[in-house]
A and B are shown apart, each in its own frame.
Chain A
């Protein structure tokens, strides 16, 4: 009996060891591209040409980062580096996130507490917007942006991101608010509070968790967007994803992988930072769209 028992313990321990080994190997697989990206961005080209793919760098410099940020020639643009693209991305993302989240919050508030005839149908129709393949609206949107004079401008991109992001933010807030007790609003109404007062005083203070999710979701979606950025921009308003793609594909002469990698990290840094700081909410946002609730 004791022998059998210790055997069992033994196999359990090996089992655990194998389990941890698999998990760690998989973790390495996910991490390697990032590690290589970072280490390459600090190496110089000689080191890359003659060194190994995965190797302790024999050189260390910020040269590639400086090049990617403010020196490399991208396309025919006068300003150099990714910096102007990065600034464009900020100018697009910040207003677009703000506006779409505010719209989503008040929409969710109405759809949860102030339903009217047809509000459910409206919600169902809007839901499809979350799954819309944007190719199906690309041509009309380009035409309309041209007609209203916003073609190739940052406000045009902001408008586009708001219009096609509001379905998601509405979904987030609506699903969150329906889980709140409806008596909250009814009691406030009996006390004579109106639509906006109830929103400001009662609903909004309860909305912090879902606002974090909605902001993170919208931020990553809009920052990482490429399709709208390439279709509706001019060289003066292109976001950083487009800048990076142009930089990687348009460089003449020898490909400077260290600069490419530094550029890729620059483009990824804001969303990575959000993920590291608020990963829990990031996951909640990702899963909220698919698993109910």
Chain B
């Protein structure tokens, strides 16, 4: 199927006698014509713009793009900026916790749901619905729940625990962890769905053989089933890491990056420097660093995916 499909016999016979008519030649080009808008999109809007952003990151652009080049100065300014370093550290904390907790909860829930549970469909629906919400909605709700004076802290105190404290939202040391809480609430159900699909695909005969050999249920899981879910782990980590790097709306709605800039993330930093602070060059540099981060995660993934596919054939 790598070449264009063969023309039907009559057409070929005609072509031997006459030159191909304009209509025929046009017909052959239809597939290319059809995908050409998308090709244009890919070349211009994806790759062209990525390069354009790289170019801007070496320029003196501030409020408007300007094409005088100043080498690595924007990057120096970026990494000399304490706020950017806080944003990067936060992304590290948030990214690692978000991925690890989502994986743990997702895997555990999937295993529990896979025990021939009644009302499995209903529970699955409940675990997964937050994924349908906008991060802005999630942020708005959790902002209220985590607000010490009206939310969970007050609820705890009203229950009689007068010293109950849960004021992470307004504490500059802890605010980034509230983003983790809300993000895990939103996305862990999705990881559950991934793992559940993976569990349903595990070969039953291997499990039965192990059980006949006297392996306990826990051994079956730790030795056979979980290792066989490796590809699911892999794709889940990619998806989650990607969500984490792009995280913008959730933190903005929940903490606004604050108190101060204590829960700032690179995506917020990029947006504010580019669009509200008139530091386009530095903003572009931060976007390039984010792009590098995604590529560092993605290229090994795509490489292994493509290699596996070739081996299959």
8 Å CB contact of B140 from A107, A138, A260: A260
- Chain B residues, CB < 8 A from A109: 34
A75 located at the interface, meaning its Cβ lies under 8 Å from any Cβ of chain B in the complex = no
- Chain A residues, CB < 8 A from B137: 241, 244, 264, 267-268
- Interface of chain B, main secondary structure: helix
- Chain B residues, CB < 8 A from A36: 141, 145
Task: Annotate B1-27 by CB proximity to A: 1 below 8 A, 0 otherwise.
Answer: 111111010100000000000000001
A279 located at the interface, meaning its Cβ lies under 8 Å from any Cβ of chain B in the complex = yes
B197 located at the interface, meaning its Cβ lies under 8 Å from any Cβ of chain A in the complex = yes
Closest Cβ of chain A to B7, distance in Å, is 8
B112 located at the interface, meaning its Cβ lies under 8 Å from any Cβ of chain A in the complex = yes
Say whether, besides A53-B151, A110-B35, A271-B133, A185 and B45 are in contact (CB < 8 Å).
Answer: no
In chain A between 221 and 238, which residues have their CB closer than 8 angstroms to a CB of chain B? 223-227, 230-231
- Chain B residues, CB < 8 A from A241: 134, 136-137, 249
What's the Cα separation between A268 and B35 when bound, in Å? 34
In chain B between 146 and 171, which residues have their CB closer than 8 angstroms to a CB of chain A? 150-152, 154-155, 158
Q: Could you tell me if A26 and B109 are in contact, using CB atoms closer than 8 angstroms?
A: yes
A27 located at the interface, meaning its Cβ lies under 8 Å from any Cβ of chain B in the complex = yes
Q: Could you tell me if B189 and A192 are in contact, using CB atoms closer than 8 angstroms?
A: no
Q: Could you tell me if B283 and A139 are in contact, using CB atoms closer than 8 angstroms?
A: yes
Number of interface residues of B (CB under 8 A): 102
Q: Could you tell me if A291 and B134 are in contact, using CB atoms closer than 8 angstroms?
A: no
Q: Could you tell me if B271 and A136 are in contact, using CB atoms closer than 8 angstroms?
A: no
B93 located at the interface, meaning its Cβ lies under 8 Å from any Cβ of chain A in the complex = no
Closest Cβ of chain A to B214, distance in Å, is 16
8 Å CB contact of B127 from A27, A103, A119: A27
B267 located at the interface, meaning its Cβ lies under 8 Å from any Cβ of chain A in the complex = yes
Q: Could you tell me if A136 and B49 are in contact, using CB atoms closer than 8 angstroms?
A: yes
The 6 closest A-B pairs by CB, nearest first: A224-B134, A114-B31, A275-B132, A226-B249, A137-B49, A140-B49
Chain B positions within 8 Å of A, measured between CB atoms, are 1-6, 8, 10, 27, 30-32, 34-35, 37-39, 41-42, 45-50, 52-53, 56, 65, 109, 112-113, 115, 117, 123-137, 140-145, 150-152, 154-155, 158, 185, 189-190, 193-194, 197-198, 231-232, 235-236, 238-239, 242, 245-246, 248-249, 252-253, 256, 266-267, 270-271, 274-275, 280, 283-284, 286-288, 290-291, 293-294, 298, 302, 305-306
23 contacts between A and B (CB under 8 A): A19-B115, A19-B117, A27-B123, A29-B185, A53-B155, A53-B158, A115-B2, A128-B46, A135-B267, A135-B286, A139-B274, A139-B283, A167-B46, A224-B133, A226-B136, A227-B271, A241-B249, A245-B252, A248-B140, A271-B134, A283-B193, A286-B190, A290-B238
Extra 16 A-B pairs, beta carbons < 8 Å, given A107-B35, A113-B5, A225-B134: A135-B291, A136-B287, A136-B291, A138-B287, A139-B65, A139-B274, A167-B46, A185-B5, A190-B8, A196-B30, A227-B248, A227-B271, A244-B140, A271-B133, A275-B128, A290-B236
